[in-house]
Structure 1
Amino acid sequence: MRHFSGWMRPAPFAIWVASICALLGAISARAQNPQAAQGPPIIKSIDVQYTGPGTVSKERILAQMRTKVGQPYSDQVVEQDIETLYKTGSVLNVRIFAQPEGNGVKVIVAVQTRSIVREIEIDGAEQVKAKRLRKEIKLKLNQPVNEQELDEARQKIVEVYQGRGYNDVSVQFRVDPIDEKRGTARVVFTVNEGLKGAVRQIHFEGNEHFSEKVLRKQMKTRGKTLVYFLDKSGRLDEVQLEQDLDKIREWYQNHGYIDVQIKDTRKERTKNGPMILTIVIAEGPQYHVGKLTISGYQATSEQKIRALLKMKEGSVYSPKQLRDDAKAVADAYGSGGYVDLVVLPEGTPAGPARIDVHYKIEEGDRSFVERINIAGNTRTKDKVIRREVLLAPGDVFNTVRVDTTKKRLENLGYFAKVETYPEDTDIPGRKDLTILVQEKRTGSLTFGGGFSTIDKLVGFAELTQGNFDLLNWPGFTGAGQKFRLRIQYGTERKDFILVLTEPYFLDRRLALSGQVFYDEANYLSAQYDQRNYGFAIELRKPINAFIYATLGYQLQDVDIFNVDPSASEAIQSQEGSTVESKIFSSLVFDRRDNPLLTRRGQRVTLSPYIAGGFLGGDTQIYGFDLEGSQ
């Protein structure tokens, strides 16, 4: 037994050989099974399965997808494919999933397509021809059924009828199948015209503290005017009427009448058809502020906070003023860097027609700017954006300046969307300011033609770019420069102008503008023609928020030609070419709220100029212009 036991004990050399063989076997097994170390399975085939009729071909569905045969299967790509298929508007429901197939997967696209519109019917249209309504709704045949487009078409029919005085009109639509196997359908609009008669007047009952004129100003629904075909007055839209009633409630509540109610809205027709709206109001009592308390402040005093509030103890209680006061407190804190501030205004009933107001303040920590990050600008240069930013790294994180920065970027006209928000950093008391922009098209090409008694026949073409870059060939965009080229040619006039403006010359708030022009006019007089051509440069410098100054130089040649022999000696003496060398300037005070649609504000311009003298040229003149508008 002792000999048998010794034969079973392995030698050290045998153990070493066995270990090597086991290691090599493991490596060999791993090499023979590479699937264990590989990523997602490979797509072997794609099958499109239809629920109902297949109105979209398999080839068209596969062409919209990024999932392809031979590629690794990806859930993320599948989600994008589903989103893309929905965006086509031809798919009602879609589901994409994978099934094992051999050493890969088979992708199943289960899809339910939309029916195709083959016919459009309009029932009940008597006062307006169905042919006219079809032109207005602009629905196309042989397109997938789209509920949103059908509802827009329904609303368009309602607008057509309301424009003709049928304010009681109602329109419904339905989709009827024609051939279910082929997936074709018929859209039927059913019109209930109602009685004709536009809204003539709007009256109020129960309005003791506000006149009908004041309340009507809160509404978009209006009585019919002489220009009803332009301002769409006299129409009754139930949705708009509900919004108008909400505006009236809001108006009353913002003036202290918190319990105001709209009791009834009567619609009465006269014998001839026009409608009279009567809105019955129960105003209720006017509420006032009882006690006003503030809590949670540490970095400032209650006295300073109360100074910011316009709604004080004893004042008329107004939800709007409550929000405005909370915003004023938030801006005051925000200008000091309290980015995480929370102001919670609360109103609590405190007896008959009395409300106590409490402001709960959560200050948070004061923050400073660590970095300014800009994202989303694929064309616009960083410096064009940064020069509009009113903060710099190390500054107090002033939220008021951040809001102003956002408005300045929006006013550039380069971006469809501008977002600004703070981001936490690893450094206590430091936050990054992130500016996220979404760019939009800033150039345009327009052309046209016309005829007038003065210009006669004339055509024009104009190219503009609001975000131009002279040195960025071939795109020529991104530097924030302004470019304009206009050519106008007609039987009585010929014009050419090329303008380029650099709003931040030498990276300063100094705008430099240059232009080259050529103007030829045959309509100024029956006795002569005139041609002006030359160039001008101008500098513009803002002095403060409302005042700016300009200084420029212009050199032009004024040519009088084709002078009638019967013209006066004064006109004949001007025949030929005259050179004008002029320096011009201006000082402008502008406090208008909007340069185009001005509702309030003033603009005053003082413009001195001088030509000739030490400037040379043939024209000797000096003077000034003073203009003002209110």
Structure 2
Amino acid sequence: MTKIFKFFLVTLFPFFCVFSQTQNIITPEGYILKDVELLGDYNIDKKTALQLMGLSIGQKISSQEVASGLKKMWQQDLFADIQISKVITPNDEIILKLYLKPSLSLLKFAFNGIKKGDEDNLRDKINLNSGMTVNDNLIKVSQQKIEEYFVEKGFLQVSCEAQTIPDSVNNRKVTLEFNITKNARLKIKEINFSGNQSLKDSKLRKVMKKTRQTGLRYLLSSSKLIEEEYQKDLINVINLYKQFGYRDASVVNEVVSITEDDKLIIDIEISEGNQYFFGEISWLGNTKYNSQELTKILAIQSGEIFDETLLDERLNMSRNQDDVSALYMDDGYLFFQVNPIETSIDDYNMIDLEMQIREGKQAIIKNIVVKGNTKTNDNVLMREVRSLPGNLFKRSDIIRTQEEFNRLGFFNPEALGVNPIPDPQTGNVDIEYIVEEKPADQIELSGGYGGESYGFVGQLSVAFNNFSTKGIFDKTTWSPLPTGDGQKVQLSAQAYGRRYQNYTLLFQEPWLGGKKPNAFTTSIFYSLSRPDITNEAIENPRQLNRSGFSLGFGKRLKWPDDYFTTNLSLNISDYDVSNWTNLFSTFNINIAGVLSRSSVFNPIYPRRGSKFLLSAELTPPYSLFSGIEKDEYIDMPEEEKFEFLEYYKIKTRGEWYTELASKLVLKTSFEFGFLSAYNDAVGIPPYERFEVGGDGISGYSYNGSERIGVRGYPNETGSGSEGGGGLISGVGNEGQPLYSKYTAEVRYPISLAATTTIYALCFAEAANAWEGFDTFNPFEVKRSLGAGIRIFMPMFGLMGVDFGYGFDPLYNGQKPGLVTSFTIGQQF
């Protein structure tokens, strides 16, 4: 308030002085203006002065007209000072004498006493330009912005002095210098509370999100005092009291003091007041549902601590959508309103409430409009809409539609919005959904050079996630490729030196035919493995060529609910092997079925929901109809037994996301899988097994085995004469037929912007692999702890790094210790 008063005083003082003079020099009846004389270092002529004042020679003027004219001159911002005097002639004529001091013009400005980084930031903040008029107001406002900038950085005792230096060539132009003294940065040493009998200091400090005292507990938090944030935190303190029934709680006094060692101590005095409780709750105006049903939904009992936040949540918008409003709005009552009225407070601070309800009539959806989809076609969005025209309005359908928009991955989840446009007269409502496109295509690139023996090492993947085959011949849809139909095209290549290369091309249509959510997926792949290429002494190096394709068909189910999907695919691959001792040429034809359920709608940073997957991969049981006896299989070479691979593989995976606090998320998950044989005499093939350990992406797998990442354990730690692959279990290059994995991970976002999502995490992980169920022990696992960070940019996908410490020795007795794992294009 003091600063505002000073501002007006500096700005308007000259005008008040001049105006008071004009009141005394001219009578109310007025005089004829004979002439105007200009004095001082003026830069205008008489004609211009009269135009600026809105006066003319020969005009009869009063004191009010002179004051108005002077005000107009001030408003032109051309003068630093204007003074007026008068000469009255015998003929009732008046001559006005104006003393004018022109305003100074800004030539340039500079800062003294600060670093270049601060200078650059301040230039943007104060926004001064050459040619601007330099006056007291401009200087004061600039000083204020400079001081505010440093106060926000913790320099509460900053001072800024300004001086104008005339130009040597033109004395009306000046250089404006700001001499800044930051003084010591003041951090908050202590935040103390008094008067708080019910809540501990530590609990109150915890809700002060932006005002933190120094200490190990708040190591990653700022301990600066920013007035605006501090006032918000005081409100948080009072809101916490209200959650415990102290609705009269208030801050009665606060003192900020500076210690001798330039630290801040904040003392806050609290008046708690009385604690209140819910009393009797009654309902008025409800005809659709009886009072007993509404009380059950409200789930608040007499005698519970009075919490306005809880009451509002149970009435209007609970996280689980089980509030009173949801009951009505899911039955079309868009115009439903409930207003809790306090009817009495007894001597025991029990508050009786009457819930006054206005049900209104049921609303019918008339039109659906989507705005903001500049790339994605309307039909892609409209097929995800659950709130259809002609149906009753349902709040749950609105929320589910937004979740489905989010699941597409084409829009900024923080910008999704909905705008119901009701017409109370007709009972109809238009639903307007708001979306904001974000880049959906991704490129994933990592690589390096492994020397002459290996060559290039790395991988490249390009994914177009909102592709349109229909738009190939329509140039208006190219951006830079045809987009808008939600189809996916992905091309990936991987090279591990000259020893291994893999190429994959995939196409997916999520709505085959455009009428139902039936997905079609097809892919082809080719890989080349030559592990001996670095050993010139071997005359017949090993080589494995693997190629194949797959066709898949997926469907969204309606039972048990429409979060379930199923997928069935035909997979064919050929293994062409040369000079291998324990691998051989073979052919794999299998059918894979997947049943999955997902209630996670933000794939980048989910805060709630779960995922579950159960899959089965089955080859034909050739041995059961081959006519060969079991005894004959025992002595049969493996390349004859597995001319066509024969096995079945079962896997299951579950993930749960729980928001522990605002944006702080706990992820828990498990995985389990096993490979088995139809015929024990045939046994399990050396292909399609599980390799457990490492980051899950480094290195390569040449025999079709799956890599199961376990942070805190290194890549390629298997044994065997033919290369790694066993990793944790150490079984040579084939992997193991059974594994399990368990993960707990806590995440917190650093940025949730549309262009970049960044979050930090800490994790506990455990996994192992076994030869079969006879040796399986779910508690005999390799454990690790660690922390990491993830960065998602729409163009480059998900990238991350983890630092994990493995506690348990590997199969060879080696202790893994601290291991760094990298993530590219996947989530653990």
Could you list the per-position Cα deviations for residues 534-559 of structure 1 after superposition, in whole angstroms to 9, with x for gaps in the alignment? 33343444443554433333333456
CA–CA distance in 1 between the matches of 2:180 and 2:314? 50
User: Equivalent residue for 1:409?
Assistant: 405
User: Equivalent residue for 2:470?
Assistant: 471
CA–CA distance in 2 between the matches of 1:344 and 1:199? 43
CA–CA distance in 2 between the matches of 1:117 and 1:517? 68
User: Equivalent residue for 1:608?
Assistant: 616
How far apart are residue 247 of structure 1 and its match?
A: 1.3
How far apart are residue 236 of structure 1 and its match?
A: 3.4
The DSSP-based 3-state class of the residue aligned with 1:242 is helix
Equivalent positions of 1:360-371 (< 5 A) are 360-371=356-367
How far apart are residue 257 of structure 1 and its match?
A: 0.9
Task: Tell me: CA distance 1:323–1:603, structure 2 relative to 1, closer, same or farther (3 Å).
Answer: same
CA–CA distance in 2 between the matches of 1:307 and 1:579? 62
Is the CA contact (8 Å cut-off) linking 2:441 and 2:466 kept in structure 1? no
User: Equivalent residue for 1:295?
Assistant: 284
Equivalent positions of 1:200-215 (< 5 A) are 200=189, 202-215=191-204
User: Equivalent residue for 1:246?
Assistant: 235
Is the CA contact (8 Å cut-off) linking 1:449 and 1:459 kept in structure 2? yes
- 5+ residue gaps, structure 2, are 1-42, 44-76, 78-103, 133-137, 317-322, 536-541, 624-641, 656-667, 669-828
CA–CA distance in 2 between the matches of 1:181 and 1:356? 78
Aligned residues: 497
CA–CA distance in 2 between the matches of 1:557 and 1:171? 76
TM-score by length of 1: 0.64
How far apart are residue 495 of structure 1 and its match?
A: 5.0
- Please state if 1:334 is matched with 2:329: yes
Task: Tell me: CA distance 1:295–1:477, structure 2 relative to 1, closer, same or farther (3 Å).
Answer: same
The alignment yields a C-alpha RMSD, in angstroms, of 4.8
- Please state if 1:624 is matched with 2:620: no
Q: Which amino acid counterpart does residue 418 of structure 2 have in structure 1? A: E
Task: Tell me: CA distance 1:270–1:611, structure 2 relative to 1, closer, same or farther (3 Å).
Answer: farther
Q: Which amino acid counterpart does residue 549 of structure 2 have in structure 1? A: F
The DSSP-based 3-state class of the residue aligned with 1:625 is strand
1:508 aligned residue (490, 507, 516): 516
How far apart are residue 595 of structure 1 and its match?
A: 5.2
How far apart are residue 225 of structure 1 and its match?
A: 5.7
Q: Which amino acid counterpart does residue 488 of structure 2 have in structure 1? A: K
Could you list the per-position Cα deviations for residues 567-613 of structure 1 after superposition, in whole angstroms to 9, with x for gaps in the alignment? xxxx54537x6543333333345566965556676655433223465
Equivalent positions of 1:125-144 (< 5 A) are 125=114, 130-134=115-119, 139=124
Is the CA contact (8 Å cut-off) linking 1:536 and 1:553 kept in structure 2? yes
User: Equivalent residue for 1:574?
Assistant: 583
CA–CA distance in 1 between the matches of 2:519 and 2:160? 58
- 5+ residue gaps, structure 1, are 1-52, 54-91, 93-114, 564-570
CA–CA distance in 2 between the matches of 1:618 and 1:149? 80
CA–CA distance in 1 between the matches of 2:532 and 2:205? 50
How far apart are residue 472 of structure 1 and its match?
A: 1.3
Q: Which amino acid counterpart does residue 300 of structure 2 have in structure 1? A: M
Could you list the per-position Cα deviations for residues 431-463 of structure 1 after superposition, in whole angstroms to 9, with x for gaps in the alignment? 143334455244445465554889986566654
CA–CA distance in 1 between the matches of 2:217 and 2:455? 31
Is the CA contact (8 Å cut-off) linking 1:326 and 1:345 kept in structure 2? no
1:440 aligned residue (429, 437, 451): 437
CA–CA distance in 2 between the matches of 1:531 and 1:117? 74
Equivalent positions of 1:150-169 (< 5 A) are 162=153, 166=154, 168=156
CA–CA distance in 2 between the matches of 1:439 and 1:556? 42
CA–CA distance in 2 between the matches of 1:208 and 1:468? 62
1:383 aligned residue (379, 383, 394): 379
How far apart are residue 194 of structure 1 and its match?
A: 3.6
- Please state if 1:553 is matched with 2:590: no
CA–CA distance in 2 between the matches of 1:174 and 1:446? 51
Is the CA contact (8 Å cut-off) linking 1:116 and 1:142 kept in structure 2? no
Could you list the per-position Cα deviations for residues 154-203 of structure 1 after superposition, in whole angstroms to 9, with x for gaps in the alignment? 776556xx4xxx55354769897988999988676664434345445544
User: Equivalent residue for 2:660?
Assistant: none
The DSSP-based 3-state class of the residue aligned with 2:293 is helix
Is the CA contact (8 Å cut-off) linking 2:150 and 2:158 kept in structure 1? no
Task: Tell me: CA distance 1:509–1:272, structure 2 relative to 1, closer, same or farther (3 Å).
Answer: same
Q: Which amino acid counterpart does residue 377 of structure 2 have in structure 1? A: K
The DSSP-based 3-state class of the residue aligned with 1:505 is coil
Could you list the per-position Cα deviations for residues 324-362 of structure 1 after superposition, in whole angstroms to 9, with x for gaps in the alignment? 233133322222222222322334663553433232222
2:591 aligned residue (579, 583, 602): 583
Task: Tell me: CA distance 1:362–1:554, structure 2 relative to 1, closer, same or farther (3 Å).
Answer: same
How far apart are residue 392 of structure 1 and its match?
A: 3.2
Is the CA contact (8 Å cut-off) linking 1:410 and 1:418 kept in structure 2? no
CA–CA distance in 1 between the matches of 2:543 and 2:208? 55
Q: Percent identity?
A: 23
CA–CA distance in 2 between the matches of 1:390 and 1:578? 48
CA–CA distance in 2 between the matches of 1:486 and 1:573? 29
Q: Which amino acid counterpart does residue 511 of structure 2 have in structure 1? A: Y
The DSSP-based 3-state class of the residue aligned with 2:326 is helix
Q: Which amino acid counterpart does residue 434 of structure 1 have in structure 2? A: I
Q: Which amino acid counterpart does residue 534 of structure 1 have in structure 2? A: G
Moved more, 219-228 or 548-557: 219-228
Could you list the per-position Cα deviations for residues 209-253 of structure 1 after superposition, in whole angstroms to 9, with x for gaps in the alignment? 334443333232334466988x34333333222222211211211
Could you list the per-position Cα deviations for residues 105-164 of structure 1 after superposition, in whole angstroms to 9, with x for gaps in the alignment? xxxxxxxxxx99975533343xxxx224335668499985999999998776556xx4xx
The DSSP-based 3-state class of the residue aligned with 1:608 is strand
CA–CA distance in 1 between the matches of 2:553 and 2:465? 18
Task: Tell me: CA distance 1:393–1:458, structure 2 relative to 1, closer, same or farther (3 Å).
Answer: same
CA–CA distance in 2 between the matches of 1:434 and 1:399? 11
The DSSP-based 3-state class of the residue aligned with 1:472 is helix
Equivalent positions of 1:53-202 (< 5 A) are 119=108, 121-125=110-114, 130-134=115-119, 139=124, 162=153, 166=154, 168=156, 170=158, 191-196=180-185, 198-200=187-189, 202=191
Is the CA contact (8 Å cut-off) linking 1:442 and 1:465 kept in structure 2? no
Moved more, 243-252 or 339-348: 339-348
CA–CA distance in 1 between the matches of 2:459 and 2:174? 47
CA–CA distance in 2 between the matches of 1:580 and 1:587? 22
2:490 aligned residue (484, 487, 494): 484
Task: Tell me: CA distance 1:218–1:519, structure 2 relative to 1, closer, same or farther (3 Å).
Answer: farther
Equivalent positions of 1:301-340 (< 5 A) are 301-327=290-316, 328-340=323-335
Task: Tell me: CA distance 1:442–1:348, structure 2 relative to 1, closer, same or farther (3 Å).
Answer: farther
CA–CA distance in 2 between the matches of 1:524 and 1:361? 79
CA–CA distance in 1 between the matches of 2:339 and 2:421? 21
The DSSP-based 3-state class of the residue aligned with 2:118 is helix
CA–CA distance in 1 between the matches of 2:462 and 2:128? 36
Could you list the per-position Cα deviations for residues 80-124 of structure 1 after superposition, in whole angstroms to 9, with x for gaps in the alignment? xxxxxxxxxxxx9xxxxxxxxxxxxxxxxxxxxxx9997553334
How far apart are residue 256 of structure 1 and its match?
A: 1.1
CA–CA distance in 2 between the matches of 1:153 and 1:524? 67
Task: Tell me: CA distance 1:250–1:451, structure 2 relative to 1, closer, same or farther (3 Å).
Answer: farther
The DSSP-based 3-state class of the residue aligned with 1:421 is strand
User: Equivalent residue for 2:418?
Assistant: 419
TM-score by length of 2: 0.50
